[in-house]
Amino acid sequence: MEEKLINLIKSTLEIECDSVFDKLPVPCTLVDIYSISPGLNGDGSSVIDEFKVQVDLYYKAKNPLDEASKKLYQALKHEKYYSLPYMEKYFDKEAKLYRATFSFHIIEREE
């Protein structure tokens, strides 16, 4: 599931994407799946899981960030089983980079 999301971001924006915060090759994205909750339970096991996800975009300039965040927003909102993403854009004073943060949920069904 995480790999599918990373591949979606890479193919949409054509930039680096990772799930580990280390040295940032700018522009880049970071993916964090920070919560997993069972959605529906049947016979003692989860049938649907809900993942809370945060994706951060980092750019040195505001205009490329605006373009990339619009592209990614459109790609995410059309993905099946993804909630409509909440997006916030700002200048990250600590990293000294422009940043867009997306928060959304992914529903994964047991096949």
pLDDT at 63: 97
Residue 66, SS3?
Answer: helix
CATH of domain 2-109: 3.30.2000.30
Of residues 81 and 25, more confidence is placed in 81
Q: What is the pLDDT of residue 66?
A: 97
Longest dimension (CA), the chain: 52
Q: Name the token pair of 32.
A: 């964090």
> In this predicted model, which residue has the larger pLDDT, 70 or 19?
70
pLDDT at position 23 over 60: yes
Strand pairing category for 16-18 and 28-42: parallel
Tell me what percent of the residues of the chain surpass a pLDDT of 70.
Answer: 86
Say what the pLDDT of residue 19 is.
58
Average pLDDT of the residues in 89-104: 93
Distance CA 51, CA 56 (A): 16
Q: What's the CA gap between 34 and 82, in Å, rounded?
A: 15
Residue 100 confidence (pLDDT) above 90: yes
The tens digit of pLDDT for each residue in 34-69 reads 887 877 666 767 678 889 999 999 999 999 999 999
CB burial of residue 85 (10 Å; 0-12, 13-18, 19+): buried
The 3-state DSSP class for residue 101 equals: strand
Cβ neighbourhood burial of 32 (10 Å; 0-12, 13-18, 19+): middle
pLDDT at 22: 54
